[in-house]
Amino acid sequence: DAKTTQPNSMESNEEEPVHLPCNHSTISGTDYIHWYRQLPSQGPEYVIHGLTSNVNNRMASLAIAEDRKSSTLILHRATLRDAAVYYCILRDVSPNSGNTPLVFGKGTRLSVIA
């Protein structure tokens, strides 16, 4: 499975944008990039996913490098409620992939300062 590398921790001020990086230099052409986050004392929560093009939803934006070897999750305006561990995960969606489980790495612990 292709691996991802994320910083262990990041800090942001409230109401400022946050850019969470993820490196995945061995990504294959059929790997989707998924982001989940886990707030304290809760289960993980799906945030966003994409393949090649940048993606936006109500929670965040996902910027994918042209060579797909890195991506950035963008929270446009951090709130205290965004303090969580953010996981960047690759999932193979090729027709023969069958079952592609979520394999969680260590993620990035985001702290938001009021």
Question: Which positions touch another protein (CB under 8 A)?
Answer: 32, 34, 36, 38, 41-46, 49, 87, 91-93, 97-107
Least spacing, CB of residue 53 vs another protein, in Å: 16
The residue among 72 and 100 lying less far from another protein, judged by its C-beta, is 100
Residue number, 7 or 104, with CB nearest to another protein: 104
Query: Toward another protein, which CB reaches closer, 43 or 114?
Result: 43
Element (H, E) at 10: strand 9-13
Q: Which amino acid is at 99?
A: N
Report the side by side order of strands in the sheet with 70-75.
18-23, 70-75, 61-64, 55-56
Residue with tokens 């993606």: 55
